[in-house]
Structures are given as C-alpha cells and as structure tokens.
Amino acid sequence: MVGDSWTHKIARVCILPMVNTPITPNHLTTVRLITGIAACACFAGGERLLDIWGGWLWLFSAFLDRADGELARVSGKASPWGHRYDMVCDVAVTSLFFLGAGIGLRHSFLGDWSIVMGIMGALGVFAAEIFAEYIDQMNKDTGEKAYPGFAGFDFDDVLYLFAPVVWLGWQMPFVVGASVGAPAFALMTWYKLQKRRRLEVIRTEAP
C-alpha cells in the first residue's frame, strides 16, 4: 500500500530526482541508519550542544525513513530484502533513542536508574514494533495497519516530535514514562497480534 500521509507526499516529491539514478532505496536506508545512530549517540552525550545536533540528525533520519520507501515504490526497486532491511533499521533506531536518552540523563538525580529506564523503554519499543510488523504483514492484502494514522499523519509520524522533546529538555519525563509505557504498549500490541492470529485461524477453518 502506498503511503498517503503528509510526510509520504513530501518525501515522494523529494525523491523524484533520484528515480533514474544509481541511488537505490537501500542507500537511503543505510544513511537513515547511520544518521539515526549518530543522533542517539549525541543524545547519550547529555550535553546541550549535542542534543541540538542530535535533534537535527534525528529529523533527517526520520525523513529518510519515508524517502527510502517512496523511492522504492516510485522507481520499482522494492524488494522483500529491502523491506526487511528497512524494518530492522527502523526498529533499531527508534529503540536506540530511548537508550541514548537514558544514558544522557545519567548525571541527573535519576543517576544510573536513567540507563535502566532507557533500556526498559528501548526493549518495549523493540517488542512493540516487531509485533506491529507481524500484524501489518498479516493485513498486507487490505493495507490495514496495526495502528492507523489520523488527519493525514501516520502513527509513526510521532517520531518527528522526539527532536523537539530533546530540544526542550523534556527527556526525563519522556524516558521515565517510556520505561513503563513502552512495555505496556508492547503488551497491548502482542494482544492485538494474538487476536489477529485467532481470526486468521477461524478464517482458515471456515468452510
């Protein structure tokens, strides 16, 4: 299913000059991975200047996550391997955000507990994204998403807000909240996956 969110539409325009060039979607995915990891490394530094640079790198990485998929669709270069590579990079970068932010808060009053909370948030996000991907693949024929968007935005467009969170210095409540919220969200997504699997069994067994 072709993405129709605002960010997809903007990315679609931006990648048009690359369609008939040697640049492939996997090239963009790789740059997305590198810039995403670099952003998380900046957040782990726990310094104001690094947070500013990290935020810009994060936004660029998040936009490339849209651009690689649009280039794949428009150029006809989509492939199962490319999709898996993109998914792995997305899960890794999003999870690392919470780990990086948690490490960056190690000198706050939370101390080393911030790292523990960052790990909990990262693991919760990792599990939730994996479960959501399974649901999306099971709904591939209909294009229905595990978590649909609204008002022209996809659910994962919320990632663009992570940069302002860091710039405003709100990492602490964000990481503390994610340490509980992300595992809970993963559990909820797992439950949705089980319901979807049971529905698939019923459909298969139906005469």
CATH code (residue 100): 1.20.120.1760
Within a domain: 153: yes
Within a domain: 177: yes
Q: Which tops the pLDDT comparison, 20 or 177?
A: 177
Region 12-36 average pLDDT:
95
Q: Which tops the pLDDT comparison, 190 or 149?
A: 190
pLDDT the model gives residue 1: 41
Q: What is the pLDDT of residues 75-110, one digit of tens each?
A: 988 898 999 999 999 999 999 999 999 999 999 999
Within a domain: 25: yes
Whether residue 173 has pLDDT greater than 70: yes
Whether residue 74 has pLDDT greater than 90: yes
C-alpha–C-alpha distance, residues 70 and 26, integer Å: 12
pLDDT the model gives residue 3: 60
Sequence-ordered alpha helix ranges (H) in 76-112: 80-104
DSSP string, 7-70: HHHHHHHHHGGGTTSS--HHHHHHHHHHHHHHHHHHHHH--HHHHHHHHHHHHHHHHHHHHHHH
Whether residue 125 has pLDDT greater than 60: yes
pLDDT the model gives residue 206: 60
Region 122-130 average pLDDT:
97
Within a domain: 39: yes
Q: Is 190 helix (H, G, I), strand (E, B) or coil?
A: helix
Domain span at residue 90?
6-205
Whether residue 141 has pLDDT greater than 80: no
pLDDT the model gives residue 84: 94
If one counts the domains in the chain, the total is: 1
Within a domain: 168: yes
Within a domain: 1: no
Average pLDDT taken over every residue of the chain: 92
Please report which confidence band the pLDDT of residue 207 belongs to, taking 50, 70 and 90 as the band edges: low
Model-level pTM?
0.90
Whether residue 156 has pLDDT greater than 90: no
Region 156-164 average pLDDT:
93
Within a domain: 109: yes
